[in-house]
Structures are given as structure tokens and as C-alpha cells.
Structure 1
Amino acid sequence: MSYAIVGFGKIGHALARAFARKGIEVSVATTRDPASFASDAAAIGPTIIPQTLAQAVKADVIFLAIRFESHPEVAKALPSWKEKTIIDAMNTFAPPEELDGLPSSAFVAKAFNGARLVKGFNHLGASVLAQDPAVHGGRRAVFLASDDDGAAAEVGALAEDLGFAPVKLGGLSEGGRLVHARGESWGHLIFKDLVKFD
């Protein structure tokens, strides 16, 4: 299984650190030349591989850690996203009418034709997400929502590998609404830093 993070701002850096802690290789990409952020990637660890967007989208599992407004442009990188798993780690404050009344992730799913989309890793601020998820003898929770049970299970397994405790919230229409920030409507679980004890 290959992994990529599209976007290398605060959330992208936090996700990269999670991969680096576990020694799992992940590509990082932006719309810029990889040479422009290669030193940042190297500072996080040797398993963080700077790539072009065209290279990164060849991965099996792709995190979207970009500004919400940029996702349609990234979606043009492939004619079809079939057999790709997209993890939507974005938030938006766009009003519901701009999203056709859909949860933000359901709106994103329309742009990534054929992809299996999972909402996840978006409810924590970057500074918290960047920390080791092993806290107080437990594991920091990450919430996942998807209309594809198989994709949710796959991303749940990845979350476990990264040291987090995945909590599945159901489909995008119910679970997705709990973890999104949209307009003046904030999901009940957004920015909640919860720890699971086994």
C-alpha cells in the first residue's frame, strides 16, 4: 500500500510527522516544485518523500491536506480516481448553499470521480495532530466517516498503524456532519481531543 499527502502546510506537516514517527514511507506534494519543500520534508524524516502532484496521485491512499477551495484543481490531476482511497482532512467555512446542501465531504467526493472517500484526521488542530498520539496511557482518537465500509476499514487500519484510535461514525451524511466545520454550523465533534483507553 502506498501513501501520499497532498498539501504541505500545517496539517500536511502534522500528518507527515505521524508517518515519520512510525517509519512509514509517504509522499508529500503541493502544486510547487518538490525542490522548494525538500528540506522541510527531510527535516521531518527520511521516509517523507517530496514529489510532484502527478507523482503523488499514483499512491493508493491520498490525504487531502489543502485549502478546501483548491480541491477541484487537485481533482483534475487524474481523469478517474477509481480504486483510489481519498482521505478528506479538510475543513471549510463555505455556507451550505455553496455546497449544494451536502456535507463538505460529500461535495468533495463529487469532484474525485470514482474514488472511495473517507472523512478523517480533520477534527484536530494541526498542533495537536502533530503530537504523538500515545497520551496518558491511551491513544488519541481520530474520527472517520465514509459511505464505503471497506475504505473506512482500510483507513481505520492505517490510523491504528500510525498510533491513533480510529472511531467510525458511519456514513458521510450522518458521521460527516459531526466532524465538519461549515458556515456557522460546526459539527459536535470538531476540535474535540479525545483519548481511548484499551
Structure 2
Amino acid sequence: MTVASRRPPEALAPQARAIGPTVVARSLRDALEADMIILAVPFEQHPEVARALPDWKGKTVIDAMNSLAPLEEMDGLLSSAFAAKAFAGARFVKAFNHLIAATLATDPVVEGGHRVVFLSSDDADATAPVAALARQLGFAPVTLGKLYEGGALVHARGRVWGPLIFQDVFKTAQ
């Protein structure tokens, strides 16, 4: 797994090691060569990341961002639908945003259950590989539907959070 930021890889190396022994710090340009990219930047910075590639076709962008911007500032769209417009051609999936980073960094297996991560996308085929990644990381993926449906449950809307934000839910084996 690769992590990147606008800083040089050497500056990010300590954080990469803290995430896990198989995580490697790379340049943003190198990280963008991956087929699947987790977008975990302040919402206002997503256009800058989007400009880093001329074409996002063939890439899956996992939107782990939240925004407090009012709907009027996002053309009346929810944050993921608004951000997706900047990543033309990408398969866009909202995921890993409803829990704070500190919670996501803890063991997702708790008392025999797996911490849930919610997925939403307007591209039904895009959620399967993201769900597979979530399972690989130890989470229980739950697909909520399209961005305007299930995505509304986990998006920030103006200064009002969706009802599933910060809900630490677990799924047990059945």
C-alpha cells in the first residue's frame, strides 16, 4: 500500500511506518499511478489533486472526505457528487468517511464483529473492488446505494451531518 501527500516521500515516511509495515511513502505522482486511490484530503483541496492527472479514466477514487460547505456552494449537490465532477472519467465511491481517522486506525475486529464502513456510488460496479479492499483491511462493507440515496446518510450537508456520521457500527458473522 502506498501513501502520498504534497510533501516529499521522506517527510511522510514516519506516518507511513506508523500505519503499518507494508505501507510505503511515495510521491503524489507515483501514488496516482495506482488503479485505486483513497482521497483523504481537506475537501477544499480536492480540485488540486484532480488537476494532478489529465484523465482519471480507469481509476477508482474512494472519497473519504467530508465538507461543511453549504449546498449552495456545491451547486446543490452532496459533497461526493460535487467532488466527482473534478475527477472526470473516474469511478467514484464514497467510503471510509463516516468515522474519525483515530477510530479507523484501530483494529476493525471488535468482540467477534467487524467495524462497518459504508459505501455509496453512482457506479454500481465500482463498489465491489472497494468492498473487497474494506474486507481485506478487516472491515465489514455495507453498500448504501447511490450518492444521492445512501451517500446522503454519510455526507456533510452544510452544517448538518448525515445520520450515519460517527456511528461506530459492527457486523457479526451470521
Task: Find the residue that maps to 1:141 and give its secondary structure.
Answer: strand
- Per-residue deviation at 1:40? 2.6
Distance 2:54 2:68 in 1: 28
Q: What amino acid is the match of 1:92?
A: S
1:91 is the counterpart of 2:66: yes
Within 5 Å, which residues of 2 pair with 1:74-85?
Answer: 74-85=49-60
Of the structure 1 ranges 180-189 and 113-122, higher mean CA displacement relative to structure 2 is found in 180-189
- Per-residue deviation at 1:80? 0.6
Distance 1:50 1:74 in 2: 17
Q: Structure 1's 43 and 133: CA in aligned 2 closer, same or farther, altered over 3 A?
A: closer
Distance 1:73 1:50 in 2: 20
Q: What amino acid is the match of 2:55?
A: S
Contact 1:144 1:152 in 2 (8 A): yes
Partner of 2:121: 146
Instruction: Give unmatched runs, 5+ long, in structure 1.
Output: 1-25
Within 5 Å, which residues of 2 pair with 1:44-193?
Answer: 44-193=19-168
**What do the CA deviations read for 1:164-189 (whole angstroms, capped 9, x no partner)?**
00000000011111001221221111
**What do the CA deviations read for 1:136-180 (whole angstroms, capped 9, x no partner)?**
111000000001111111111111111100000000011111001
Partner of 1:6: none
Task: Find the residue that maps to 1:172 and give its secondary structure.
Answer: coil
Normalized per residue, the structure richer in helix is 1
Distance 2:135 2:51 in 1: 31
Partner of 2:169: 194
Distance 1:114 1:53 in 2: 19
- Per-residue deviation at 1:77? 0.8
- Per-residue deviation at 1:191? 0.6
Instruction: Give unmatched runs, 5+ long, in structure 2.
Output: none
Task: Find the residue that maps to 2:55 and give its secondary structure.
Answer: coil
Q: Percent of aligned positions with the same letter in both sequences?
A: 62
- Per-residue deviation at 1:195? 0.4
Task: Find the residue that maps to 2:148 and give its secondary structure.
Answer: helix
Distance 1:123 1:87 in 2: 13
Distance 2:111 2:21 in 1: 28
CA RMSD of aligned residues (A): 1.0
Distance 2:26 2:151 in 1: 30
